[in-house]
Amino acid sequence: MLAESRETPFDSADHIYELKWDGTRAICFLRDRQRFQNRRMTFIEPRYPDLKVRTKKPAILDGEIVVMWDGKPSFEKLQERERPGTKIHQDYLVKTLPATYVAFDVLYIGDENVMGKPQMERKALLREVLEEDDRIVLSDYVEARGVDYYNAVIGRGLEGIIAKRKDARYSPGKRTKDWIKIKKKTTLDCVIAGITAGEGEREDTFGSLIMGAYYQGELFHVGRVGTGFSELFRRSLYPRLVALRQEACPFPEVPEIDAHVGFWTRPEIVAEVHFLEFSKDRHMRAPSFSRLREDKRPEDCVVTF
């Protein structure tokens, strides 16, 4: 079950509010053996031998695998856990970066499908069936006071919250307003420096925009953004980018980009981008296009780290 997005928090007596855990979403199957399945439908339990989920009956749970660092979930540390390596390296990571499974829903108990029960009934069933320890925990929640909770979460430097209707049924594979994610966002004005090649329905335009901002007087690659714009917008922007096409990369050094570069452009068009935070390599994390800034000059797009 997936959540729709909203930019502002809200209060509602019909909702509960949970922390949006910054980790890997994982369905946990507890029958003959324990299995974790991520959103790509890949079974990932070999990466987490330190997680031993126990329930009073066979069950299927929904939750998030996180790695805590300095008292908060760390996505960068989680990525270290998910990189393939030798058995010795994995044993080292288990000791230095132990994982935690945060359970927030239950889909089956024994052979009974409980997804049709309201959210609050499933919460009660989950609390009854799950055996908690220091690495297997329940996701806590508050009722009604979404605004205060959001402000407290963001004040602690966390990612955001999820609002869930108390009467919501579990709808696997669907994105629904019964669950609403409200994440903190940082805004950066960037210069479009090129595009990556489009595939599928984007084949005749572009896949993503390659973004830059000026750092210490030079154009610096801050990542690429492939979400937040409509098909109509892509088709209207593409001719403008073609007109700015150039052979030379506008960055002082050609950056490593994990996609095929369609072409580079003269850095003249400014776009506002929302993102969560800068990664360790100074790229925007989870960027989303907001709008073009025709009122901004490229040289005004300055970033500090």
126-174: pLDDT as tens digits? 999 999 999 999 999 999 999 999 999 988 888 899 999 999 999 999 9
Q: What are phi and psi of 24, to 5 degrees?
A: -110, 120
User: Rounded to an integer, what distance in angstroms lies between the CA atom of residue 72 and that of residue 159?
Assistant: 10
Q: The tokens 């987490």 sit on which residue? A: 48
User: Rounded to an integer, what distance in angstroms lies between the CA atom of residue 62 and that of residue 112?
Assistant: 15
| Structure confidence at residue 67 (pLDDT) | 96
Radius of gyration of the chain (CA): 22
Q: The tokens 């329930």 sit on which residue? A: 55
Selected residue with higher pLDDT from 83 and 239: 239
Handedness of CA 78, 82, 83, 86 (dihedral sign): positive
Ranges of each domain in the chain: 1-21+150-184, 23-138, 186-300
**Tokens (6 digits) for 104:** 């927030």
- Among the ranges given (182-186, 269-273, 282-286, 299-303), the one the predictor scored with the smallest mean pLDDT: 182-186
User: Rounded to an integer, what distance in angstroms lies between the CA atom of residue 84 and that of residue 95?
Assistant: 16
| Mean pLDDT for all residues in the chain | 94
Task: Assign domain 1-21+150-184 to a CATH class.
Answer: alpha beta
Confidence of residue 188 (pLDDT cuts 50, 70, 90): very high
| Structure confidence at residue 152 (pLDDT) | 93
User: Could you say which DSSP state residue 169 is in?
Assistant: P
Confidence of residue 225 (pLDDT cuts 50, 70, 90): very high
Confidence of residue 230 (pLDDT cuts 50, 70, 90): confident
Handedness of CA 233, 238, 241, 243 (dihedral sign): negative
pLDDT digits (tens, 9 = 90+) for 270-299: 999 989 889 989 999 989 998 898 878 999
Q: Which of 186, 237, 241, 190 is nearest to 212 (CA)?
A: 190
Confidence of residue 23 (pLDDT cuts 50, 70, 90): very high
CATH topology (fold) of 23-138 = D-amino Acid Aminotransferase; Chain A, domain 1 (3.30.470)
Question: Does residue 185 carry a pLDDT above 90?
Answer: no
| Structure confidence at residue 248 (pLDDT) | 97
222 and 190 Cβ atoms separated by less than 8 Å: yes
| Structure confidence at residue 55 (pLDDT) | 98
Q: What are phi and psi of 95, to 5 degrees?
A: -80, -40
| Structure confidence at residue 187 (pLDDT) | 87
Question: Does the domain at residues 186-300 carry the CATH identifier 1.10.3210.10?
Answer: no
| Structure confidence at residue 276 (pLDDT) | 85
Question: Does residue 84 carry a pLDDT above 80?
Answer: no
Q: Across residues 120-126, what is the average pLDDT?
A: 98
User: Rounded to an integer, what distance in angstroms lies between the CA atom of residue 141 and that of residue 161?
Assistant: 10
Question: Does residue 52 carry a pLDDT above 90?
Answer: yes
User: Rounded to an integer, what distance in angstroms lies between the CA atom of residue 63 and that of residue 51?
Assistant: 13
| Structure confidence at residue 57 (pLDDT) | 97
Selected residue with higher pLDDT from 13 and 275: 13
Number of residues in the chain? 305
